[in-house]
Structure formats: structure tokens, C-alpha cells
Chain A
Amino acid sequence: MRVSSSRGASAWPQRLLAALALALAAGCATTNGGDPRDPFEGFNRSMYAFNDAFDEAIGKPVATAYKSVLPDPVRGWVRNFFANLGDLFIGVNNLLQAKPSDAVNDWARFAFNTTLGLFGINDVASEMGLEKHNEDFGQTFGRWGAASGAYLVWPLLGPSTVRDTAGGLLDAYFDPVRRHDPTDARNFSVVLRATSQRADLLDASRILEEAALDKYIFQRDAHLQRRRGLIYDGNPPRESPSSRVREEPRAETAPDAPAPSDRLFDEPAASGAAVPDSTSSYEPRHPANYAAVLAAILRTAQ
């Protein structure tokens, strides 16, 4: 959930950097044999606990009230309005990922929804067959081969990774809602958007409570799987043969080796005899047309 402060967008990068420094400091003390994808688990867990408490005290009650006060169609307008603003930079990111036809699709969505859809409150583009996409700068970095790095949980912002934090700074910088003036209207919009997003997840969070043994780990693993899927636009290669264990499992890596992951920090001490499995690396490689696209972009830029 994004919750703004009364200060402007310009304060965000500094505060995130400060938080990152804090995270690194806290994380150093807590690397003792956990998951290699999550070297700062101690810090992350305390942030998770903070976010959870914030959600219980403010997020969930506000979202519940929002849901019970506003009728379904009105909440749909709010959801669509913010989704429409998001399509602008979803298109930019699709272009940066060398998917020009997807970018055109996203901008066509924005054009139709802003006009025929009355400032985006109606999603007429979906009815016309223009699909909604999910892209951001973190995915763009991933598409061009940036590894996700350590898992990080930010206060109020929630789960992320080193790569996605860098991407998130760009997302926030270009976010039309955050760039909106005057400040009062901006703050109202940011809170409204966060409330709308949280309200859509009330059922989901209840299911999470029921399904997870350890909510922190359940959410972390789901987040990392989801981000990986998004970078591959829904067609990630299967993780490893170990995802298919039948009655007679093959002898694999060391017994306690964690699931293969796109790890930034190898921890030989922590993972014991775990041997890095070369076949389990699944960070995206450059698309086949990388060189051609790069050349085309450079040519247009001149």
C-alpha cells in the first residue's frame, strides 16, 4: 500500500536511500543461515510486523469502511481511474522492454479510456479487446537481465527487492498521481488510491491468513514467484526439476539446500554443502532482438 506523507515526491528518494542504508546496517547483523534470497530477514521481519500492525490499525478498517460506504460501481470508477493513469507508464515500460505493439496497446487504452471512458472511470478499452498489462521499471530492469537482488520489505510500501526498489523510485518519480499539484489534491489522490487497492484485497488477505503457516514466508515466496512471472510476462520457465517430486524423488542437492533462487548474495557458509545448480538459474536473458532494438532506439534518438 502506498501512503503518502505531506511532503512532496522529492522527499521520497532521500528517505528511501536512508531506509536502504538502515536496512543494510540491520541486515548485516542478521545473516545467519536463512534463505539466501533474504539476507536481511531480521530487518524485513520487523518491517513486516510494522506493516502488519499498521494494516490492522488503519489499513484494514479504512478499507472496510470504504467498501461498505461506497457502492460497487463507484469503487469500480475509482479503481479504473487510477488504473488508467497507470497505463501511460506501463506503455513506456513496454517500449523500453522492446515490446512496441504492447506499448501501442497500452497508449490506445489510455486514449480510449480517457475520452470515451470519461477520464478513465470506465474501462471501455478492455471491452474493445485491448488488454490491460502489468509493467513497471523493476520489470524493465529484469527484462534486460538485472538480477532481483536481496528481498526487502519497506515500511508502508511492502515487499520488494533491491532491483525493484530502484525501479520503484523511477515509478514513483514518474507517477502522475504524485506529480499532481496542488499538494492537498495529491495527498487525497494517493490515499484514495491506496484505500481502493487495499479494499480490493480484503477477501484475499483473509485467505492468506488461513492458508499460511508463517505469513511472512508465504508472502515473501509468493511475491518473488509473482515478480519472476511478471518479468517473463506470464511464461516463466519452470523453476527446476525439484518442482516435480513424485514418490521416488531423485537424489538432488544437499538436503537442506533452499529452493533454487535468483540469488545476489551467495552464502556458502549458510547453505552448507549446497552446490550452485547451473541449470536452475532463470534470470531473463537478453531478448534475441536486443541488438536490433538497441540500434533502432539509438537511431531514433539521433
Chain B
Amino acid sequence: MTAASGLRAAAAAAAAAGSLFAGAADAQAILPPDVQVKNVTLEVVEIVKSDKDIQAGDRRKVVALIEAKVVPHFNFTSMTASALGIHWGKATAEQKARLTEEFRTLMVRTYASSIAAYKNQRFDFRPLRTKPTDTDVTVNVRVLQPGAEAVKIDYDMEKTARGWKVWDVRVADISLTANYRTEFANVVRESGIDGLIRTLQAKNSKLAERTPVAGGGRP
């Protein structure tokens, strides 16, 4: 109930945007969702730990890593739909595509920052109990760190023709898409779907102007 805890909660939600996650992008066989999460997480962590440029704060390389290893496992259309909530149905196909594109950019950028904050935490992958007929599952991962409670990360995944895709990430019980829902609804109420697209574009181009250094240090 301190400002610190509120900030931590908010930041956890932000970090959810790209919580360490992956899975063979073009795997021939569809892996079980929990195996997919584990493989991709460990692969990304291994690269982050061993890549000197990423360690030194090379932002473009982090983004490239995310695009290659993480993005293929997300269904950004479903994610954006969930963040829009009831307003999604009001958008035209073109508006949906543009919203998804802008939201995706924001997520990738946020993920790049949260990767930079990674510091040798260990992961506890929880086994998943599912039936073969399930099409909607939640994969649980816990991030263990000394001197603090474990942070729970839940990946909500849906089965698609192209394999299991993430449509929401919950970090410490904070759903990423739910956290954007109020903000998005406020903007839509004031200036419509197009207003939201403009707002997201402005946010993304403002972030692109910066040259942030990974690992903190920005005053």
C-alpha cells in the first residue's frame, strides 16, 4: 500500500508486455503450450545473458531479438481486441489492423525495456494439466529472486491453426490487456477509435525519438 508497491504493480503490468517468452517460431509440430513457453523463455534468457551488445544496452538488437523469437508466439489481434474490450466490435477492419499494429509496436518497445532489466533471476516452470481438447489454457511461470517474493507470470494462450498463441500476459495478477482497457475506453469515448489510433501513434513516435539506454540510468 505504499507508492512503491503501486509503482511496482504498474511496472509489472508494463513488463508484462514482453515477459520473457518464446517457442520455436516455425516449428513443424505444434508443441504443448507449457513446453513452448519454457523453450522460448530459456532461449531468450540465454541470448540476453551471452550477447555483449545487449548487455551494453544495444536497443536495436534487443528489438530484433524480440521480433525474431518472441513476437511469433503472440496473437496481437486477440491481445488488442481484449484491450479494446467492448469497443473492438465498433472498429472497422482497417481500424482493427491499425490499432493492432500500433499496440504491437508499443508492446515490443516495452518488452525491450523489461528485457534490459533482467538480472539473472531463475524460473520455475509449472507443469500444465490440460486435456487434448483444450483450446484455451494458462501457462504458469514463477520468477524467483533472492530476498523477495516470487513473481508469478501467467500466459493466457489460445490454440490456433498456427499453433498456440499468447493473447494475454498477467504479471503478479495484473493482466496487461485489462490494464489498458480503461485507458483505451477513455480515449475512445472522447475521440473515437481514430482518436485512439492517433494517440497510440503519437506515443510510439515520441518513444522512437528517444535513444534510451537499456539497463536504466535515464534520469
Contacts and interface: CB of A to CB of B under 8 A. Distances in A.
A222 B177 contact: no
B156 to A, nearest CB: 8
Contacts of A203: 11, 113, 116-117, 215-216
B25 interface: no
A113 B3 CA distance: 27
Interface in B1-37: 1-15, 17
B174 A226 contact: yes
Nearest to A38: B182
From A60, A123, A217, residue with most partner B Cβ within 10 Å: A217
B4 A158 contact: yes
B123 to A, nearest CB: 15
B146 A213 contact: no
A79 B14 CA distance: 23
A52 B187 CA distance: 23
B178 A256 contact: no
B3 A259 contact: no
A207 B117 contact: yes
A55 B152 CA distance: 28
Interface in A51-93: 51, 55, 60, 64, 76, 79-80, 83
A159 B13 contact: no
Chain B: number of interface residues, binned into ranges = 35 or more
Contact of A168 (B1, B7, B78, B86): B1
A201 interface: yes
Contact of A218 (B2, B78, B173, B183): B183
A184 interface: no
A288 interface: no
Contact of B15 (A164, A171, A204): A204
A210 B110 contact: yes
A170 B20 CA distance: 37
A1 interface: yes
Interface string B134-156: 00100000000011111010000
A165 B200 CA distance: 35
Contacts of B150: 131-132
B85 interface: yes
Contacts of B88: 245, 249
A156 B3 contact: yes
B3 A159 contact: yes
B7 A221 contact: no
From B3, B4, B8, B86, residue with most partner A Cβ within 10 Å: B3
B45 interface: no
Interface string B62-95: 0000000000000001100110111111000000
Given A159-B3, A205-B11, A207-B110, A242 B85 contact: yes
B189 interface: yes
Given A83-B148, A210-B14, A210-B113, 5 more contacts: A204-B15, A206-B212, A206-B216, A234-B152, A245-B85
Interface of A: 1-2, 35, 51, 55, 60, 64, 76, 79-80, 83, 123, 126, 131-134, 136, 138, 156-160, 164-165, 167-168, 171, 194, 197-198, 200-208, 210-215, 217-219, 221-223, 225-230, 232, 234, 236, 239, 242-249, 252-253, 255-259
22 contacts: A35-B182, A55-B3, A60-B219, A131-B149, A132-B147, A158-B2, A203-B113, A204-B14, A204-B117, A207-B15, A213-B199, A217-B182, A222-B6, A222-B174, A223-B5, A225-B178, A226-B8, A232-B173, A243-B178, A244-B136, A245-B81, A256-B189
Nearest 9 A/B pairs, CB to CB: A229-B173, A158-B3, A204-B11, A211-B14, A159-B6, A226-B9, A203-B117, A222-B10, A219-B10
